[in-house]
Structure formats: structure tokens, C-alpha cells
Structure 1
Amino acid sequence: MIINTGARTDIPAFFSTWFLNRIKEGFVYVRNPYYPKQVAKYSLTPNVVDCLIFCTKNPQPILPRIHKLDAFTSYWFVTITPYGKDVEPNVPPVDQVISDFRLLSQELGSHRVCWRYDPIFINEHYSVERHIEDFRKMANELSGYTDECVISFIDLYKKTKRNFPGIREVDAEKKIQLAKEFSQIGKQYNISLKTCAEAADLRQYGIQSSGCITQTIMEKAIGMKLKNTHSKPNRANCGCCIPNRDIGAYNTCPHGCKYCYANYDQETVKHNMRMHDPKSPLLIGQLSDSDIVHAAVQESYVDGQLPLF
């Protein structure tokens, strides 16, 4: 099984102590976000967890303890964008995240760390030209530390429109302009590009749309062949077809990014953060007598063949 920690919140940035406690205990409880009284229990042991997936804007809090995860294979998506405090109020400075990215890559290998440059939006402060300039600078500094970069353009969810007034989608002409430039920059620095949940087909510009979490990517990270297992994507145009289960919770990320789809508002986030207990098996709060807990069905996807490398 693939355990995902990053589709609902940023666990390395804000909940690394809790997560390492869960690794030590060997299990985690996860509330169903749509039926909160239903709680799934997942085993966090190497015999059933083939890979831990992390998505973060700040890996620094867990870096000093990264080797506590040595019993597992992990794959990291680290988001680095050019936005300032006006858009990402509590995200660390770009230079710090790039430095931490490089340290993470040195510890795990460039094939286990992927750069995310998303979501892309255009306004009077963040023009096409600025994106191209900043993307080139970042690619230069990350060259040799990652093999891939995932890009996407902003999606206007209701939450996004409410929290980011006046934001607009990127039009087709600007998408093509950015795709052409980013692709050339990627080639220059040996970083291949792919899109995430994008309706626009940019393959003719050298940008693939195969998905962020695929069998090929996981096999490369794990170094083993996996069984042919597929799941239905959670979002439109998503190419992530390998089954994975997220152990995070919505409305729990204090980064405060205005484009965030996982937070309803910051007051809800603050309330939930007050409910967090690093020793609880749940990310937020505790089990109640009315909760219905069931053990999730888990199995390894490794097919038992010889290592790939």
C-alpha cells in the first residue's frame, strides 16, 4: 500500500512529531472527511507500506529526524514557488526551502525528491516574465538534486475564490507561452516536466501528463516491481492511478496560502490546531465513544520480483 500524507495538509511542516509517534506506534487513525464518525485504522509498518508520500512546502522540521524513517521508502514532493507573504503568508523563504530540498535530496537521492512549481497564476505582481525568470533561477539551483518538476495552473475552487478575491485563471495563450519556456529551461537543467490534473494538453511542448503518483514513479523510488493495480483518480484530469490512502485532515494547514483548496478558512484551521495532540492516534482530537473504527484492508503491492536496480 502507498500511504499519502500530503493531499489534505502539510504533515512534515506542522505535524512531524505526531507522524513520527505514529511510525513508532505502528498505526494511525484517520477520520473520513465526509462521514467523520467513521474512522479507519491503518497499519504503518514496512511489511504493508511500500512507500510513504510526502507533499510539503517546508521539509525542515523533519530533516534532523529523517533517518527515523529509514525502515520505509519515501517519495517527496516539495513545492517551491516565487510567491511572497501576500500569497503564502507562513511559507518559509524560497532560499531556505531550496537549501532544505538539496539536503533532502542528498539524504534520499534525487529520484525520491520531486519539485512542484504550482499553482501558477498571473496578476500584476506575478507576470509571465517573472514566472519564467524565477523558474529559471530555481531550476539552476535544483539541477542535479531532482529529476522532475510538476507544474499546474490555478483551479478556481469556491474556497479559492472566497479566500483569494479577484484571482483569475491563466488563459490558453499564456499557458502555452509558459509551457514552451519552462520546457526549454527544464531541458537545460536536466529536469523533466509534467502537469498535475491539467485539462490542457502540453505534450507537444515537451511536458508530459502522466500523473504525479504512478506505478513508474513508485517503482523508481522503491527499486522494485509493483503489481498492476489501478484506482480511479480523485480529480478530473488526474493521472495518478496507483492506489494510495491519505492520512491527513482538511482545514489543518497554517501556511495560509490564499489559493489553498484544503482549507475552508483560517479560523477553522486555528480551531483545529488547538485540538491537535502529538500523542493522539488521530491528527486532530481524540476518539469518542460514538466513533466507529474499522481496520483498513492493506497489502503490499510489491510483486516479489528482483529489484529493478
Structure 2
Amino acid sequence: MIINTGMRTDIPAFYTPWFLNRLREGFVLVRNPYRPEQVTRYRLSPDVVDLIGFCTKDPEPLLPHLDALEPYGQYWFVTITPYGRDIEPGVPPVERVLESFRQLSDQVGADRVGWRYDPIFLSDKYTLDFHRRAFAKMAEALAGYTHACVISFIDLYPKVTRNFPEVLPVGREDRLALGQYIIQTARANGMVLRPCGEGSELAPYGADCGGCMTLGILEKALGEGIRAPKQRGARKACSCHITCDIGAYDTCAHLCRYCYANTSREAVLQNRQRHDPRSPLLIGHLQPGDQLRQAHQESWRDRQGRLF
């Protein structure tokens, strides 16, 4: 099976000691975000976990510990965007994340790490020309270190509009203009451009609109075929293979204003005070009345269909 870590928070950036403890102890507990009394126990054994997926804005804290991941397949998304601290107050400087990306790629391989340039939004400061210049500079810095770039345009979820009220949707004309430039620039630097949840409007210009974490992508990272049950994507427009996530909402201290996973800064700070690196739960501990169940897990590797 596949374990995801990055749809609800940024585990490498803020919870590396906890994650390493979970790998050492061989299991993790995850609360249902919509029914918190329901807790699922997942084994973290290579016998049943084929691949661990990461999505982070700062892989640096986990880089010295990549040997702990050797028994597992892995696939990384590293998000690098050009926004300042007015938008991403807790994200490290771009040059530092670019260097961490290159170090990660050197250790795990370019087929196991992808670059996310998202979400894209426009403002008086962050204009089309600004994005063109920023994307071109980053793409050149990452050439040869990844073969994939993922973009998306900002989605105005209720949490986003509450925490970022001045943000506006990106119109179709601007999406096409910027999308075509990004596709061409990515291609020039050896990358396939994959829009995330954007439908197929960029397909005529050379984008791969088939999904950014499909079984084919994960099979290439794993080096083996995967016979996985059908899964539903994270959203209606999502074609990716999304399984369980071991993170928790309202825990990411990057505090990006566009974040869909945080309700508020106060909620994040309160939860981080409850974090115990020794607990099997990311936040807090088991409580009386919690309903604990063991997840059904099995390996999906198709060892006869090994990829070369």
C-alpha cells in the first residue's frame, strides 16, 4: 500500500523526530479529521507499505535521515514558490529550498522527486511577468534534478478566503497565457508540466493532464509494477492515486495565507503545543472513548511486472 504524509501538514519540515520514531516503532495512529474519536492504526512495515509519499516546502530536516527510508519506496514533491513572507511567513528562503531539493535529488534520484510551483495567484505584486521571471529562474536551477513540474491555480476554499480575503481567482485568459509559458520553459529544462486539478485546458499546449501522482508515476519511482485497488482522487478533477494520509490538519507552521489545511494561526499554535514526538498520534495522545481500529494493509507490488 501507499502511505501519504503531505496532504494535511508538512511532516519533514516540522515533525521529523516524530516521523522517525514512528518508523522505528513500526506503526502510527491517525485520527479521522471529521470524526476525531475514530483512530486508525497503520503498520509502517516494508512488508505492507510499498511507498511513502511526501509533500513538503522544506525537506532539509529529513535529509540527514534518508537511510531510515531505504526499506521503502518513496516519492517526493517539494513545493518552491516565489512568494515573500507576506504570503508564506514560515517558509525558508527560496535559494535554501532549491539547494535542499538538489541534495534530495542527488540522494534519491530525479525520478523520485517532483517540483510543485503552486498555487499560482495574481496580484499587483505577483503579476504574470513576475511569475514568468521567477519560474524561469527556478526551472533553470532545478534542470537535471527532476523530470516533473506540477502547477495549480489557486482554489478559493472557505478557509482560503477567510485567511486571504483579498485574493482573486485567476481568469482563463491569464491561466492560458501563463500556462503556455510555463509548459515551454519546463520542457526547455527537461521537465514535463503536469497541472494539478485543472482539467485539460492546457493539454493542447503540451501539458500532461493525466494526474501528478498516478500509479504510473509511482511505479517509476518504485521500479516495480503496482497492482492497487481503485482509489478516488482528492477532488473531483483529481486523477491521482490518493490513499491514507498520516498527518493532521491545523498543524503546519508555514502559515501560508493560501493554505486549505489550516483554519487559523491560533489553531496551529495550539496544536503544536500538544505535539509529543513520542506519541503515536501526531497531535496529543489516545483519550478515553477513542475507537481504535487496525487498518487492512497489504503490499501492492507486482514483482513479476518489474520495471527497468
- Give the letter aligned to residue 238 of structure 1: C
Give the drift of 1:229.
2.6
Residue equivalent to 2:191 = 191
Whether the aligned pair in 2 keeps the contact of 1:229 and 1:243 (CA below 8 Å) is no
Q: Is 2:138 aligned against 1:176?
A: no
Which 5+ residue runs of structure 2 have no aligned equivalent?
A: none
C-alpha distance in 2, partners of 1:213/1:245? 14
Which aligned pairs between 1:288-299 and structure 2 lie closer than 5 A? 288-299=287-298
C-alpha distance in 2, partners of 1:277/1:100? 26
Residue equivalent to 1:230 = 230
- Give the letter aligned to residue 299 of structure 2: S
Give the drift of 1:306.
4.7
Residue equivalent to 1:220 = 220
C-alpha distance in 1, partners of 2:201/2:239? 12
Give the drift of 1:155.
0.3
C-alpha distance in 1, partners of 2:159/2:228? 36
C-alpha distance in 2, partners of 1:257/1:206? 30
Residue equivalent to 1:278 = 277
C-alpha distance in 2, partners of 1:243/1:173? 31
Whether the aligned pair in 2 keeps the contact of 1:194 and 1:211 (CA below 8 Å) is yes
Which aligned pairs between 1:1-309 and structure 2 lie closer than 5 A? 1-199=1-199, 201-240=201-240, 242-309=241-308
Whether the aligned pair in 1 keeps the contact of 2:234 and 2:242 (CA below 8 Å) is no
- Give the letter aligned to residue 271 of structure 2: N
| CA offset digits 1:38-97 (Å, max 9, x no partner) | 000000010100100000000011111111211111110000000000000010000000
Give the drift of 1:235.
0.9
C-alpha distance in 1, partners of 2:263/2:228? 36
Whether the aligned pair in 1 keeps the contact of 2:120 and 2:152 (CA below 8 Å) is yes
Give the drift of 1:234.
2.4
Which 5+ residue runs of structure 1 have no aligned equivalent?
A: none
Give the drift of 1:228.
4.8
C-alpha distance in 2, partners of 1:256/1:289? 31
- Give the letter aligned to residue 116 of structure 2: R
Q: Secondary structure at the match of 1:245?
A: coil
Whether the aligned pair in 1 keeps the contact of 2:279 and 2:285 (CA below 8 Å) is yes
C-alpha distance in 2, partners of 1:121/1:181? 15
C-alpha distance in 2, partners of 1:168/1:7? 23
C-alpha distance in 2, partners of 1:306/1:88? 43
C-alpha distance in 1, partners of 2:21/2:13? 15
C-alpha distance in 2, partners of 1:133/1:255? 24
CA RMSD of aligned residues (A): 0.9
Give the drift of 1:254.
0.6
| CA offset digits 1:78-117 (Å, max 9, x no partner) | 0000000000001000000000000000000000000000
C-alpha distance in 2, partners of 1:249/1:164? 21
Change (3 A) 1:228 1:274: closer
Give the drift of 1:243.
4.6
Give the drift of 1:200.
5.3
C-alpha distance in 1, partners of 2:26/2:109? 25
Q: Secondary structure at the match of 1:135?
A: helix
Identity of aligned residues (%): 51
C-alpha distance in 1, partners of 2:40/2:176? 43
C-alpha distance in 2, partners of 1:80/1:52? 20
- Give the letter aligned to residue 41 of structure 2: K
Q: Secondary structure at the match of 1:299?
A: coil
C-alpha distance in 1, partners of 2:33/2:80? 28
Instruction: Calculate the TM-score normalised by the size of structure 1.
Output: 0.98
C-alpha distance in 1, partners of 2:263/2:289? 25
Where has structure 1 moved over 6 Å in runs of 4 or more? none
